[in-house]
Structure 1
Amino acid sequence: MIRHPQQHLRPGSLVEVISREGIFIGRGIYNKKSNIGIRLLTENIRETLDRGFFFKKLEQAKSLREEILGIQRTSNCYRLVHGEADGLSGLIIDKFADTFVVEPYSAGYLGIMEWIASSLQSLYAGSRIVVRQDERIAAKEGVSFAKIASAYASHDAVEIKEHNLKMTVNLKTGHKTGFFLDQRENRFVLSQYCKDRDVLDCFCYTGGFAISAMLAGARSATGIDLDEKALETARENARLNSVKVTFQHTNVFDYLRTMISKGVQTDVVILDPAKLAGCTEEIKRAHRTYGDINRLGMQVVKPGGLLLTCSCSGLVSEREFLSILTRSAAEAGVVLQIFQITGASPDHPFSTIFPEGRYLKAIFARVYPLMKNEEIQ
């Protein structure tokens, strides 16, 4: 639908967009090389894309998190900018204490990173700015983020606090921005159900769910992951919170199959795998994988025990995910009593003009064995 300009424009150029009839549509980021040709940032003809525009967007984002949500009263970390929902398509910014990690998904932020950084430092005195590059995104955008990543280089780690949980965020080896803030409220909610229970945290990453459970009085907690560096940080986090968690470097599928073969069950199981569908071609495989992991996970929950199962694949809808869980429950010979469905923490809003921003599904359920006919008789 885009008639590309005759003159060459570098990837990420800020442009004005007009219709074929010459009517103003908006202003945004243009990149012929990207699969998103234009990212509109404003449809207001009076707004120009200058330093003041980006400062205002960041100021509005801060207002939501602090003046309305009041996250700073319980946590010193939150997502400040969540892409389209905050009017800055292609930009993610996470606040970790006094450090802001900026993750650009669009070449458009290459030339204006100084505007972003100076605005952050004006809004948050004494803050440190880190830019993290994603090589796959850079390749898709046809640019390199290496120069700005070097200009806003990372220190090794930062300590954060969410509710009563303290965590070390490794800014060198951590995934994405370093820590998954979208599960903040789900970690806290689940922990309230874990007192005197044994907890299994699958795909545990740096241990957030398991450690939160122990802080809330869980009897024991085990964390499983294949990322050795994440597990190193997880063990450090357990020490930081003065709790004992058993972390194991192993494949979650194999671990659950072994538990099933030995007849071992536990009180609480958390299933929080990484994104399984990043594009439409991966959706069918994601459905199968979600089905497999949930079928296995349900079988290791004690009768009446709890399951928290999550999907962060935006291409798998809540309706589809619930349908997958229904099939998995039938195959596992159990019934799920779903009592709560949540999503990402409120600092990860979504917009009516970009509903795809609602990506995380978190299903809280009790698990019961399916009664067979002979058992009823």
Structure 2
Amino acid sequence: MLTVKLKKNEDRRLRAGHLWIYSNEIDTEATPIKAVAAGTLCRFSDTRGKILGVGYINPTALLCGRLLTGKADATIDTNWFQRRLVSALDLRKRLYPTPHYRLVFGDSDGLPGLVVDRYDDVLVVQMTTAGMEQLKPLVLEALQRVLKPRGILLRNDTASRELEGLSMYEEVIGDVPEVVDVIESGVSFKAPIRGGQKTGWFYDQHANRDRMAPYARDARVLDVFSYVGGWAVRAARFGATSIACVDSSKLALDSALVNAEINGAALDVHQGEALDVLKRLRGEGRLYDLVIVDPPALIKRKRDTDAGTEHYAALNRQAIQLLAPNGILIACSCSFHMDASELQRILLRESRAAGRRLQILEQGGQSPDHPVHPAIPETRYLKSFVCRLS
């Protein structure tokens, strides 16, 4: 196996528990890597030759190495993947009474470049690195051994694959329906895994939706970026008196209506760009007791920070204008490049500009099936504030 040597002192982050190696940290004179195939398994060593562990390398990427294990003599085979999957499964079985959760969350589960969402006997898998793509046969065999799924959908169509020089594709193994069942805290949903966003359902907001219960009771609710109605339908089950959904996707809103019908709820849906719809609702004099603003990542790269920050501000500005006195705003961000303190600053500034007094009641993050790797800040990405505006 190839041994890739790091420059002096560039092993410190790995020794502290991190899993990433950047191209400028590699001693390319001692170990030239230009001709190495993307995704090749290798050992990483410090400048003295001490092995730091086994991982994979992609010489064409800026983030060119990922550590799979700190064991120098590890064999990365189906049995190795099976052990990692069993460990990940043990955690989720403790957390959830039904088999609906994110089974693998990349680095945090010791499987960098791999995401697996479970919908009972159907799995949706994403491989975002060349190394994990090369290891795909082992991953699939291990999943078959551990879970014996009816079907596996490979949604390898995420834009992050382009950074690794990978093509985007979708592949079906076994029996994979267009729509699958999801159960969240006892509430049933249908999720469109074939044509929906990302892997079909946003498990990372499970805990935050649970937290919504006391605020949705007897409330007029507006769910912005509603997707298939995860927040909206949960609000209905918590006793909301009316629910409106806003999304740009007709497929998403049609799915939200189906999910509402399953649960005996009624939705008022508005298709269009969020800011445009919010301004229209404000012009119509609408008021809501609870507004949820849960947009997609608006700051995908650091250079998008200024534009994305203004977008978050504009969305929450309009949401505040639609809140009744003493209304509740649930403001979320899944952009890693916006930290919680910045989102809080936006909420304070916009509430003061609107002449409203802001109280932060609760603060949340991603659900525990998206665990945080303590050495990798990027794995802590979701922020959620529950605010009262009087």
Q: Same fold (TM over 0.5)?
A: yes
Is the counterpart of residue 94 in structure 1 residue 117 in structure 2? yes
Structure 1 partner of 2:42: 15
Equivalent of residue 56 in structure 1, options 75, 79, 83: 83
Q: Give secondary structure in 1 for the equivalent of 2:43.
A: strand
Q: Structure 1's 150 and 261: CA in aligned 2 closer, same or farther, altered over 3 A?
A: closer
User: Structure 2: 5+ residue runs without aligned partners?
Assistant: 1-24
**CA–CA distance in 1 between the matches of 2:221 and 2:315?**
17
TM-superposition CA deviations, 1:143-194 (whole Å, max 9, x none): 2353x72557843111111113211111211111111000112112213421
Is the counterpart of residue 233 in structure 1 residue 243 in structure 2? no
Is the counterpart of residue 365 in structure 1 residue 387 in structure 2? yes
Moved more, 225-234 or 114-123: 114-123
**CA–CA distance in 2 between the matches of 1:359 and 1:6?**
32
Q: Structure 1's 153 and 37: CA in aligned 2 closer, same or farther, altered over 3 A?
A: farther
- Aligned Cα root-mean-square deviation (Å): 1.8
Task: Tell me how many residue pairs correspond in the alignment.
Answer: 363
Structure 1 partner of 2:191: 169
Structure 2 partner of 1:374: none
C-alpha contact 1:15 1:27 (8 A) present in aligned 2: yes
**CA–CA distance in 1 between the matches of 2:246 and 2:219?**
17
Structure 2 partner of 1:375: none
Letter in 1 for 2:371: P
User: Structure 1: 5+ residue runs without aligned partners?
Assistant: 369-377
Structure 1 partner of 2:51: 24
Structure 1 partner of 2:276: 254
**CA–CA distance in 2 between the matches of 1:114 and 1:287?**
41
Is the counterpart of residue 158 in structure 1 residue 180 in structure 2? yes
Is the counterpart of residue 65 in structure 1 residue 88 in structure 2? no
Aligned pairs (5 A) from 1:326-365 = 326-365=348-387
C-alpha contact 2:123 2:149 (8 A) present in aligned 1: no
TM-superposition CA deviations, 1:122-150 (whole Å, max 9, x none): 2223442221112523322112353x725
Q: Give secondary structure in 2 for the equivalent of 1:149.
A: strand
Q: Structure 1's 261 and 7: CA in aligned 2 closer, same or farther, altered over 3 A?
A: closer
Q: Report runs of 4+ in structure 1 exceeding 4 Å deviation.
A: 150-154
C-alpha contact 1:77 1:161 (8 A) present in aligned 2: yes
C-alpha contact 2:222 2:292 (8 A) present in aligned 1: yes
Structure 2 partner of 1:103: 126
Q: Give secondary structure in 2 for the equivalent of 1:248.
A: strand
**CA–CA distance in 2 between the matches of 1:60 and 1:271?**
34
Letter in 1 for 2:204: D
Q: Give secondary structure in 2 for the equivalent of 1:305.
A: strand
**CA–CA distance in 2 between the matches of 1:344 and 1:9?**
37
Q: Structure 1's 14 and 325: CA in aligned 2 closer, same or farther, altered over 3 A?
A: same
**CA–CA distance in 2 between the matches of 1:232 and 1:163?**
22
Is the counterpart of residue 208 in structure 1 residue 247 in structure 2? no
C-alpha contact 2:219 2:241 (8 A) present in aligned 1: yes
Structure 2 partner of 1:298: 320
What is the CA distance between 1:241 and its match in structure 2?
A: 1.7
Q: Give secondary structure in 2 for the equivalent of 1:78.
A: strand
Task: Output the TM-score relative to the length of structure 1.
Answer: 0.91
Structure 2 partner of 1:47: 74
Q: Give secondary structure in 1 for the equivalent of 2:389.
A: strand
Letter in 1 for 2:213: S
What is the CA distance between 1:342 and its match in structure 2?
A: 0.6
Q: Give secondary structure in 2 for the equivalent of 1:270.
A: strand
Moved more, 122-131 or 305-314: 122-131
**CA–CA distance in 2 between the matches of 1:117 and 1:18?**
29
Structure 1 partner of 2:154: 131
